[in-house]
Amino acid sequence: MLAGIGASAAVAALPQRPARAAGTAVDLQLVLAADVSRSIDDRRFRLQREGYAAAIADPRVVRAMTGGRYKQLALTYCEWSSPSQQMTLVDWTLIDGQESAEGFAGQLLLPPRPFAASTAIGEAITYAAREFERCPYSADRRTIDISGDGTNTNGLPAEIGRDRAVAAGITINGLAILSDTPSPWNPNHTHPPGGLDGWYRENVIGGTGAFLLSVMGFETFAFAMVNKLTREST
């Protein structure tokens, strides 16, 4: 009973779906939330950050982002690790064509890596959900795009963060980054029973039209993000 009361209160604290917020209308408000925990070494981090930038500026993605009713969407990017470590690196930006997409991608490549600690997916989802409160553009669709290479290790359980966001009208899509070799200090973190992609389906994604993509390693991360952003922007 106490758990139920706590969950209800937390749901109420998340941003609820507005009837129509004031501001320029866009087809989608999209939060990109990238895992930068310690299981992602510096090389993988560079491939991931550069992969996001390349995908956002890809003409195929830009066409998808600008192909809706309003021909534009609102985009922001954050990175996360432990329960107290979440940071917005590129704030809400109107993507209305190739120039604005390339500008966003260029900004994304500038900041240094902010964190490299434990993996708190539930906290990352909660942070990303709160980002919609600051969005100056109005939309009927709100989506969190979360990527990661392991399971939740501490902080709020991922499924609780997911359920609270979904109750607030938010869709969460996932990109599970798979690997051949289990983590040496915690094999179940990167290779849980049923696989990381199965774990993401069970604990992370949710909401209207939610989907999961999987990629083997970071070398093809940019290709995977092109497919993912194209799909969720339409």
Backbone angles phi, psi at 151, to 5 degrees: -80, 170
For residue 40, give every residue at least 6 positions away whose Cβ sits within 8 Å of its Cβ, in sequence order, or none: 48, 116, 149
Tokens standing for 153?
Answer: 């290790």
Q: Give per-residue pLDDT as tens, 44-79.
A: 999 999 999 999 999 999 999 999 999 999 999 999
Residue 89 lies in a domain: yes
Q: Which is nearest to 148 in space by CA: 99, 88, 192, 185? A: 192
Specify if 20 maps to a domain: no
- The domain of 73 spans 2-15+26-233
CATH number at residue 217: 3.40.50.410
Does any domain span residue 163?
A: yes
Q: What is the pLDDT of residues 122-181, one digit of tens each?
A: 999 999 999 999 999 999 999 999 999 999 999 999 999 999 999 999 999 999 999 888
Instruction: Kindly state whether residue 183 falls inside one of the protein's structural domains.
Output: yes
pLDDT at 10: 37
Phi-psi region for residue 97, left (φ > 0), alpha (ψ -120 to 50) or beta? left
pTM (predicted TM-score): 0.89
> Is residue 21 domain-resident?
no
pLDDT of residue 11 exceeding 70: no
Is there a domain that residue 148 lies in? yes
Number of domains, the chain: 1
| Distance of alpha carbon 145 from the chain centroid | 3
